[in-house]
Amino acid sequence: MQHMDVVQLAKYLETSKPQLIDVREPWEFEICHLHNSINIPMAQIPQNLSTFSTTAESVVICHHGVRSMHVIQYLRQQGINNLINLDGGVDAWAQQVDKDMPLY
């Protein structure tokens, strides 16, 4: 599984446009999220497999990086492999990259 920390992702987003998939619950997504990310709660991933490209890169995001890691393991079993787990999730993003982002 490929991992990226928040500082690496911030730098990566300057030159690349991966799909950003946030697997937190809608109420969490409403509090804070990365710009241009789409919200597909973890429990809805099986019904939304077509959202994930088998060729384009997707960064999977959650609060701290654990749910996203589980989602990536599931997606790999479904044959989707071009996935990056955001280590530290939005919590680390708010603390290290976007200090104006709300924490919860």
Q: State pLDDT tens for residues 41-90.
A: 999 999 999 998 878 899 999 999 999 999 999 999 999 999 999 999 99
pLDDT tier, 95 (very low <50, low <70, confident <90, very high otherwise): very high
pLDDT tier, 1 (very low <50, low <70, confident <90, very high otherwise): low
* Residue 40, both tokens: 């597909």
Percent of the chain exceeding pLDDT 70 equals 99
* Residue 8, both tokens: 């690496």
| Residue 31 CB contacts under 8 Å (≥ 6 apart), including other chains | 102, 104
d(CA 14, CA 71): 25
CATH fold for domain 2-96: Oxidized Rhodanese; domain 1 (3.40.250)
Check residue 54 and give its pLDDT.
Answer: 78
Check residue 66 and give its pLDDT.
Answer: 97
